[in-house]
Amino acid sequence: MMSIARRWLAPGLFAVALAGCATEPPPDSFAELRYTHLPRIELAAASLEVTQSYRAPAKAPNIEHHFPTPPGVAAAQWARDRLLAVGGVNRVRVTILRASVIEVLLQRTGGLRGLFTNDQSERYDGTLEIRIEMLAPGGRQLASVESLATRSRSVPEDITLAAREKVWFRLTEDLMNDLNSSLDVQIRRYFAKWLVR
């Protein structure tokens, strides 16, 4: 009985899969993640330096390099949009310490029941960590703040590429929103003596 069911189901499922491939729309284009709608944080410093200490492996299980906007790119853009050096003797250094997203394969329902079950097939675990320092002309650290954000999202096994990319984009957005809130508070507290406004 099982083999008869599989004989009938397999061609039908194959046809559905082919139809899905033929009609799937191309992935959406995504707006650039910018933070110019938020007030600038003006700092009494001669310059602003943004560095990436994180190097994406560009291989599994890391997948951030496939994102419409990788978290590291969004973090660097945040720093340039929100922080402004307006003059002084010190310098501000922003270091992106981690900006990774790991794909975790989830267990799926097996057997005949699995043919009719739409499981969550992958989970994406994102980690974004930034340090901001105020440095004296000789390089001595005068003040420092650091924030770490982690988020996870899972997707169903029948998700399209376009829908998957939307999940990835939203994951980057969520990580950045968390970091923005944390860093805004910390900068205003620990960099208060260098705040122009």
CATH of residue 122: 3.30.160
pLDDT, position 116:
58
Considering the domain boundaries, does residue 16 fall inside one? no
Instruction: Kindly report, residue by residue over 23-46, the tens digit of the pLDDT.
Output: 444 445 788 899 999 999 999 999
pLDDT less than 70: residues of the chain? 1-28, 109-118
Considering the domain boundaries, does residue 1 fall inside one? no
Q: What are the structure tokens assigned to 151, written together?
A: 């988020």
pLDDT, position 28:
53
CB 196 within 8 A of CB 42: yes
Beta pairing class for 83-85 and 47-52 = unpaired
Of 178, 193, 173, 191, nearest in space to 68 by CA: 173
Considering the domain boundaries, does residue 120 fall inside one? yes
Q: What are the structure tokens assigned to 125, written together?
A: 């675990």
pLDDT, position 11:
40
Considering the domain boundaries, does residue 27 fall inside one? no
Considering the domain boundaries, does residue 56 fall inside one? yes
The torsion angle over the Cα atoms of residues 75, 80, 86 and 87, rounded to 10 degrees, is 80
Full domain range(s) for residue 59: 35-194
Could you give the number of structural domains in the chain?
A: 1
pLDDT, position 120:
80
Instruction: Tell the residue number behind the tokens 């320092």, with chain if given.
Output: 133
pLDDT, position 19:
38
